[in-house]
Structure formats: C-alpha cells, structure tokens
Homo-oligomer: A and B are copies of this chain.
Amino acid sequence: MVHYTNKQVLFLNYPTGFPVVGEHLGLQTTEIDPVLEDNDILLRNLYVSADPYLRGRMRNVHDSYVPSFVLGKPFSSGGVSEVIQSRNPKFPVGAIVVGETNWEEYSHVTGARVAALGLQVVEGGARDSKIPLRYWVGALGMPSKTAYYSLKIIGQPKKGETIYISAASGAVGQIVGQLARLQGLRVIGSAGSDEKVDFLLNELKFDAAFNYKKGNILENLRRYAPKGIDIYFDNVGGEQLEAALEVMNLYGRVISCGAISVYNGQVPYGVRNLHHLIAKRITIRGFIVSDFEKQESANFRREVSEYFLNGDIVYKEDIVDLDDAPNAFVGLLKGERFGKVVIHIADP
C-alpha cells in the first residue's frame, strides 16, 4: 500500500454571480491510501481542461446537459493521466488515458466508474508523439472537437464565404478561425483586448479582427464584413448575436456554442431582431460536442493532428499549475485569460 498526498480543487458552494475563490471553490490537500479491488485503477493526473461551460456545473440544478458538480467534491473535466496502479487489464500500469478527470493529483477510479468517465487509453504511443500530451485536453480535446464538429456540420462552410467568430482567441474560437481560413473563408474575429486582436491578426492570420469593448460591434461588423457574414460562430450570445443577425446574409448559419454573457448571473440581453431568421432563412443551432462524436471523431483526429504536425494550425495555451487553477478558472470566466487554459498537475 502506497501513501499519497493529494491536492485537489474542491467545489465549495453555489455562486450566483462570478465564483469567488475560497468561497465557491478552493484548494485542499488530503492524504490517501488507495486499496484497489478488481478492475480498479489509480491515476496520476497530468493535465485537466478549464473551460467556461464548467460554470454551468456549479449550479444546484440537474436539468442540464452535463452533470452538476457535487458540493465538497473535486471539480472535474476532460483530462489526461498516467495509470500508476492497476487491477484492470485494459488499463495497464504506464498507460496514458484520457477522459473525465478530477482536478486532483491522484484519482482512485473503481472499475464501475471507468466507463462512466469515458476513460480510454491513448493509442499509438502518446508519449513519443510530436504532439504534446497536454494537447489531449485542448488542441486535440473537447474544445477543438467542438470547433471542428460544429463548423463542419452546422456551419457547412463554403470557400469564399465570410465567418465571424466571437471570443475568437479562446480555446474554441482560435481553432474555428484557422479551420475556416484553411477552407478558404474570409475570417473575422472579435476579442476583449488589443493584445488578443493582435494575436488574431498576426499569429492566426485572420483577415480582420476587432476589440469588442471598443466602438460599436455592429459598425465594426459592417466595416470588416462589407459583403455580410454567412456563418456566425457564437461563443457569447446577447448583443453580439443581435449584431451578427443584422449583417447576416441569406441562408446564414449561426453556430450556437456558448453564452458566456449569461453564465454568471448577469441580466440576459434580449435579442430583438429574430425576425431576420425568416427574411434571411437563417438557421441557429445549439449542440454539444458529444452529439457529433460518433460521426466525426475519426475525421477530426486525422485531419486536425495533421494540421498540427504540418504547422498549418497554431494553438495558444495558457498553462497554469494546480495551485493557481481556482484563480485561473475565475479569470477565464471574466475574459481575463488569453488562449486555452490548461491546468498542469504533473509532468508526464
């Protein structure tokens, strides 16, 4: 029996507005002496993903598409881990696994929970790949799948069309923009700081980008999308959606991916121009990534891995240690982080 010190990020209380570190989430260190039964495994966690949708799991409701966190228990999200003890023949010691992972150093997963967490061994010698292991929680994980699946299936992009992306420097937005650019679209993005706008223009090679906090969103869209927009990738909802509908072309598509503008208890913005849906035959569609997993995951892995290996896509990460995870998560919700937030727990 081996003894472990286990640092965790715990869910402490239901927030109404932005969560506060120490009040709604916080660090705790415990000691564990795991005893494995048949089919159990012990994971040494390496990376977990911090994403805005996790705010929706901090609610005392259970009607949503993802289960809420449990008070007093750790946060969890997509992660990558190493098996360090095993009584499960499918998960040998040394294997690298991905799936739903607690925000903690070590996780004792019972055989019964392995499937529920979607844990899978990464095939093909993940450790030796040119693709860093932490990409499994971001660049090749849920956020990029979200981008790829929804752009393809809901967006149906065609060469020469124009796409507008809000929160474009985030985990999902940066992939959407680069995939669209590679398919010959005119790509316009907005973000919340001039530094992010520079990144969109200079690193991601967007055709245009603007700071949504400066000037009028609709005027900026009219300026940068003089031919209108065909696809709006909506990470925020509210006022940005309204502006996008205003300049949308016939048969426009809105990929409804996020509504961060209402996640933290702000008064929801009322969208007043939905009549454009009829006149312009617009489709707005919400989704979650698992809807398209079966249909598209193989395509995703093949295409996007190749883009990364060829250098066709770059990916900005914002890597923080577990000690800083609570503050980084709150900062993410406030739009203060820059790039995909990845929580580093241990080195591979």
- Which A residues have a C-beta under 8 Å from some C-beta of B? 56, 64-65, 237, 241, 250, 256-259, 262, 268-288, 291
Question: How far, in whole Å, are A40 and B53 apart by their CA atoms in the complex?
Answer: 64
Residues of B within 8 A of A284 (CB): 274, 277, 283-285
Distance A282 CA – B65 CA, assembled complex (angstroms): 12
B64 and A275: CB pair below 8 A?
no
The answer to whether B272 touches A278, judged by C-beta atoms less than 8 angstroms apart, is no
Q: Please, how many angstroms separate the alpha-carbon atoms of A146 and B237 in the complex? A: 29
Q: Which residues of B contact A271 (CB under 8 A)?
A: 270-272, 274
Given known A269-B272, A272-B270, contact A65–B259 (CB-CB < 8 A): no
- The prevalent SS among residues of A at the interface is loop
Q: Which 7 A-B pairs have the closest CB atoms?
A: A270-B270, A277-B286, A259-B275, A268-B272, A278-B286, A283-B285, A256-B277
- Closest beta carbon of chain B to A12's beta carbon, Å: 24
A-B contact pairs, 7 of them (CB 8 A): A64-B279, A257-B278, A258-B278, A268-B273, A271-B272, A282-B285, A283-B286
Residue of B nearest to A256 (CB): B277
The distance in angstroms between the C-alpha atoms of A269 and B271, with both chains bound, is: 8
Contact among B237, B241, B282, B285 with A286 in the assembled complex (CB-CB below 8 Å): B282
- Distance (Å) between the CB of A263 and the closest chain B CB? 8
Asked if residues B286 and A56 are in contact (CB atoms below 8 Å), the reply is: no
Partner of A278, one of B273, B280, B283, B288: B288
Instruction: Provide the residues of chain B in CB contact with A279, threshold 8 Å.
Output: 56, 64-65, 286
20 additional contacts (CB under 8 A) given A256-B274, A281-B285, A281-B291: A241-B274, A256-B277, A257-B278, A259-B275, A268-B272, A268-B273, A269-B272, A270-B270, A270-B272, A271-B271, A271-B274, A274-B284, A276-B286, A277-B284, A278-B286, A278-B287, A279-B286, A281-B286, A281-B287, A283-B285
Chain B positions within 8 Å of A262 at CB level: 275
Asked, given contacts A56-B279, A279-B56, whether A274 binds B259 with beta carbons under 8 Å apart, the answer is yes
A279 to B281, CA, bound (A): 23
A277–B238 Cα gap in the complex (Å)? 12
Closest to A272 in B: B268
- Docked Cα-Cα span, A256 to B274, in Å, equals 9
